[in-house]
């Protein structure tokens, strides 16, 4: 498979969830369904929060395991056992959250399938075999766009059911594609949980780093601005995932070859990060201004560039520290940056609104990059 096809497949796989989220939000907004939009935001937020626990912070680390270690079946068993155990433990608490029962069931079912697919995706990324999954994602995205264009029955329950069917399709596709190496054997997960708890804490504080400003903004901003900031943050998240997915194949190469390759590729990585951050701006402007009808100024576009570029260069440092097994350093970095995001959010959002939330998120990302550069 050519490198261009691999990059395209990885990008489609990475962006599918955020792209669907952004499109569904657009659909509910355009069809004037504020209740469905609000419940979808709750659903999407609940899924991300649950997955931040269930995935145990092993996204990049899982890829590293599949790249650098033998015994693929044992790795699958470890990861599946961990995620099933955590899903049961955390899922019990989700059931007591004061939400509509249907939304809770949707969160649990979708999160469970997503956690299984994340495990398979880590292996497919390590082996550069994401094309089949990319095909399923692309087909579903086209289908949901066509379904929206018909307007008939485009509501919360139907959309989420379609998303669940898409995850089921990817799960069965993964089983068929990797049937010779996938193992669902359940083993004692606690020894592995104990040795990798740092990666869970990394993922949890990284979740706070990326989402805290949105949650704190909901305390200060009126509902209309909250929806606008959700659209903005969703598009930022989508752009970040595109960038991360673009570099995912390079991540595998870097994990395979070691630290020397990191040093040799640093300047090229910076140039690619700069170019991708610049290329995102016109698309960001067109989508927000002409599709969502959300006016975005040149100053805010400059902040979008800062966010994406700082995020991009931080990825390189995260890959390097992951390759060096410096989990404590990673943990300290995301902990410091999450705290900074929280402090800035409470300080700025009340006075500067959405701009304050954006600045808080950038401050958190910048502090993460500076921390990694100072703590080599």
* 3-state secondary structure string across 115-172: HHHHHHHHHHHHCCCCHHHHHHHHHHHHHHHHHHHHCCCCCHHHHHHHHHHHHHHHHH
What does the pLDDT read at residue 98?
83
Q: What is the pLDDT of residues 136-176, one digit of tens each?
A: 888 888 888 888 888 667 899 999 999 999 999 989 988 88
| Lowest mean pLDDT across 92-101, 186-195, 260-269, 360-369 | 260-269
Does 242 score more than 70 pLDDT? yes
Q: What is the pLDDT of residue 14?
A: 61
Q: How many residues does the chain have?
A: 376
Which of 25-34, 57-66, 77-86 is the least confident region? 57-66
Handedness of CA 213, 219, 221, 226 (dihedral sign): positive
Q: What DSSP state is assigned to residue 292?
A: S
**358 or 237, higher pLDDT:** 358
Q: How far is CA 366 from the centre of its chain?
A: 19
Round to whole Å and give the CA distance between 322 and 64.
Answer: 8
pLDDT of residue 197: 74
User: Domain extents for the chain?
Assistant: 1-194, 196-376
* pLDDT at residue 8 greater than cutoff 60: no
User: What is the per-residue pLDDT across 106-136, written as a single tens digit (0 to 9) for each?
Assistant: 999 999 999 888 888 888 877 777 677 778 8
Ranking 160-164, 237-241, 303-307, 330-334 by mean pLDDT, the lowest is: 237-241
Sign of the alpha-carbon dihedral angle for 109, 112, 117, 120: negative
Contact (Cβ atoms closer than 8 angstroms) between residue 349 and residue 216: yes
For the four alpha carbons of 115, 117, 119 and 122, in that order, the dihedral sign comes to negative
Question: Is residue 299 over pLDDT 90?
Answer: no
CB contact set of 337 (below 8 Å; sequence gap of 6+): 205, 209, 364, 365, 367, 368, 371
Flag the least confident range among 8-17, 221-230, 278-287, 298-307.
8-17
Residue 2: per-residue pLDDT: 46
Q: Are 121 and 133 in contact (CB under 8 A)?
A: yes
pLDDT at position 12 is: 61
d(CA 315, CA 48): 20
The values of phi and psi at residue 145, to 5°, are: -70, -45
Is the pTM here over 0.85, yes or no? no
For range 208-225, the mean pLDDT: 76
């Amino acid at each position: 498979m050519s490198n261009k096809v691999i990059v395209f497949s990885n990008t489609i796989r990475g962006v599918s969830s955020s792209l669907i989220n952004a499109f569904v939000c657009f659909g509910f907004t355009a069809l004037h369904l504020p209740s469905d939009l609000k419940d979808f935001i709750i659903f999407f937020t609940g899924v991300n929060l649950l997955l931040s626990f269930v995935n145990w912070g092993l996204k990049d680390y899982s890829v590293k395991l599949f790249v650098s270690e033998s015994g693929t079946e044992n790795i699958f068993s470890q990861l599946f056992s961990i995620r099933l155990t955590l899903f049961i433990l955390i899922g019990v608490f989700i059931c007591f959250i004061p939400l509509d029962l249907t939304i809770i069931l949707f969160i649990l079912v979708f999160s469970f399938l997503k956690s299984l697919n994340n495990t398979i995706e880590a292996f497919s990324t390590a082996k550069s075999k994401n094309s089949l999954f990319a095909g399923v994602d692309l087909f579903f995205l086209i289908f949901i766009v066509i379904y929206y264009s018909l307007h008939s029955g485009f509501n919360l329950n139907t959309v989420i059911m379609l998303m669940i069917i898409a995850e089921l399709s990817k799960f069965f596709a993964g089983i068929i594609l990797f049937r010779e190496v996938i193992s669902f054997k359940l083993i004692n997960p606690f020894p592995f949980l104990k040795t990798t708890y740092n990666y869970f804490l990394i993922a949890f504080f990284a979740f706070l780093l990326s989402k805290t400003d949105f949650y704190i903004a909901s305390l200060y901003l009126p509902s209309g601005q909250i929806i606008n900031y959700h659209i903005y943050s969703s598009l930022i998240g989508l752009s970040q995932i595109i960038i991360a997915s673009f570099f995912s194949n390079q991540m595998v190469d870097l994990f395979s070859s070691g630290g020397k390759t990191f040093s040799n590729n640093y300047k090229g990585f910076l140039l690619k990060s700069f170019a991708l951050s610049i290329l995102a701006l016109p698309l960001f402007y067109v989508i927000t201004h002409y599709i969502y009808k959300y006016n975005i100024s040149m100053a805010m576009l400059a902040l979008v560039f800062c966010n994406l570029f700082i995020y991009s260069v931080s990825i390189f440092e995260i890959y390097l520290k992951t390759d060096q097994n410096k989990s404590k350093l990673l943990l300290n970095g995301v902990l410091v940056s999450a705290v900074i995001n929280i402090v800035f959010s409470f300080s700025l959002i009340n006075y500067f609104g959405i701009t304050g939330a954006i600045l808080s998120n950038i401050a958190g990302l910048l502090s993460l990059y500076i921390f990694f550069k100072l703590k080599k």
